[in-house]
């Protein structure tokens, strides 16, 4: 390095990485809580429970609700990933009509608000279907899962397309010259290389869908946010309970999503193609 002209060096961005929490944040949180504690405990002298005691009392129920949120997110992710994989491959297929159709579907579901898609699924899917003589009921939570799977599908479709596109063309050409059929090339050569690139954005989508599951409460599915509202009503609807109860919901999601975010960032750095 010494002796080289610093002005003419090629530019490289300093590696600062995304912001993360440090021990200092814990201290800051502790200070903030200590400042708020007198307010939270002052009400404890009266007959009703203090806000923190209320949260503690209902924690099992609220966590059960959170578990249901996670269940919705797993199911939506599984369905959405499977469908999105197919749609993404269709976007890359050889049939022009299929390609156009897949592209249009992807764009449509990617550009609509998630809440609107949820309404879409809730209202337009019948509450039961009849196949032959068997009536299969479709409960609200199942429709909500489908409603969440739709945007996941579109996002996964774009991830698959982007990942396949990022594989260098010579890979296709050499597979071709080794007499692989297009299908074999895709499944045995291109896709195995893509999986690695798809994992970080896929985890991102997962984190987003987990955070979106609370929207199910808007369309009447009982999950954590609905339960939080009910707990608040059950405790007499005191206005000072809102902040701790919703704060608890924020905390649950944060504790779940932040590690995923960190892991995504780490994988992204590791898989980075320079």
Partner 1 sequence: MNAVAEFFRNLYEATGLNFTVFYDPYDRDRYLRGVWTTIYLSVVSIGLSIVIGGVGAWLQGSPVALLRRLVNGFVVVFRNTPPLVQIFFFYFGLGTLLPASFDASGLRQPLLNNVQWAIISLSLFAGAFNVEIFRSGIEAVPRTTVEAAEALGYTRLGAYLFIVLPLALRVCLPSLNNNLVNLLKTTTLAYAIAVPETLYAMKQIWSESQNVPEMMSVLLATYIALVGLLVWIMHRWERALAIPGYGR
Tell me which of 254, 266, 269, 271 binds partner 1, using CB under 8 A.
Answer: 254
6 touching partner 1, by CB under 8 A? yes
Q: How far apart are CA 76 and CA 213, in angstroms?
A: 9
Please, which residue, 185 or 215, has the CB nearer to partner 1? 215
Q: Are 69 and 224 in contact (CB under 8 A)?
A: yes
DSSP secondary structure string for all residues of 116-180: HHHHHHHHHS-SEEEETTEEEE--HHHHHHHHHHHHHHHHHHHHHHHHHHTS-HHHHHHHHHTT-
Number of residues that bind partner 1 (CB under 8 A): 49
Which residues make Cβ contacts (< 8 Å) with residue 206, sequence separation at least 6?
A: 73, 77, 260
28 touching partner 1, by CB under 8 A? yes
Residues 142-201 that bind partner 1 (CB under 8 A): none
Question: By CB under 8 A, which span of 155-163, 167-175, 187-195, 250-258 interacts with partner 1?
Answer: 250-258
Please report how close the Cβ of residue 187 comes to partner 1 at its closest, in angstroms. Answer: 30
Please, which residue, 69 or 185, has the CB nearer to partner 1? 69
Tell me which of 56, 123, 127, 271 binds partner 1, using CB under 8 A.
Answer: 123
Other CB atoms within 10 Å distance of the CB of residue 37: 12
Q: How far apart are CA 237 and CA 231, in angstroms?
A: 9
Question: What string marks each residue from 86 to 115 as x (binds partner 1 by CB under 8 A) or -?
Answer: ----------------------x--xxxxx
Which residues make Cβ contacts (< 8 Å) with residue 239, sequence separation at least 6?
A: none
Q: Are 109 and 117 in contact (CB under 8 A)?
A: yes
249 touching partner 1, by CB under 8 A? yes
Shortest CA distance to 68 belongs to which of 228, 202, 233? 228
Please report how close the Cβ of residue 56 comes to partner 1 at its closest, in angstroms. Answer: 18
Q: How far apart are CA 222 and CA 61, in angstroms?
A: 12
124 touching partner 1, by CB under 8 A? yes
Footprint of partner 1 on this chain (CB under 8 A)?
6-7, 11, 13-14, 16, 18-22, 24-25, 28, 108, 111-116, 119-120, 123-124, 207, 211-215, 217-218, 225, 239-240, 242-247, 249-250, 253-254, 257-258, 261
């Amino acid at each position: 390095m010494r002796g080289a002209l610093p002005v003419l060096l090629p530019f490289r961005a300093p590696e600062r990485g995304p912001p993360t929490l440090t021990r200092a944040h814990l201290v800051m949180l502790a200070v903030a809580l200590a400042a708020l504690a007198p307010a939270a405990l002052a009400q404890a002298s009266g007959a009703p429970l203090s806000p923190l005691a209320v949260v503690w009392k209902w924690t099992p129920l609220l966590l059960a609700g959170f578990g249901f949120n996670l269940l919705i997110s797993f199911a939506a992710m599984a369905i959405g990933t499977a469908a999105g994989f197919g749609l993404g491959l269709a976007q890359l297929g050889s049939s022009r009509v299929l390609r156009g159709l897949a592209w249009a579907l992807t764009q449509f579901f990617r550009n609509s608000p998630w809440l609107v898609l949820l309404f879409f699924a809730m209202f337009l899917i019948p509450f039961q279907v009849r196949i032959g003589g068997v009536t299969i009921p479709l409960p609200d939570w199942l429709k909500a899962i489908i409603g969440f799977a739709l945007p996941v599908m579109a996002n996964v479709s774009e991830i698959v397309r982007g990942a396949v596109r990022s594989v260098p063309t010579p890979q296709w050409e050499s597979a071709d010259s080794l007499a692989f059929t297009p299908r074999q090339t895709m499944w045995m050569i291109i896709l195995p290389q893509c999986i690695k690139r798809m994992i970080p954005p896929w985890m991102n989508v997962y984190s987003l869908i987990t955070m979106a599951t609370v929207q199910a409460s808007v369309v009447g599915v009982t999950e954590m946010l609905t339960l939080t509202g009910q707990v608040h009503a059950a405790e007499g609807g005191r206005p000072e309970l809102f902040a701790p109860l919703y704060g608890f919901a924020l905390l649950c999601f944060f504790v779940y999503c932040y590690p995923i975010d960190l892991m995504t960032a780490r994988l992204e750095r590791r898989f980075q193609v320079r």
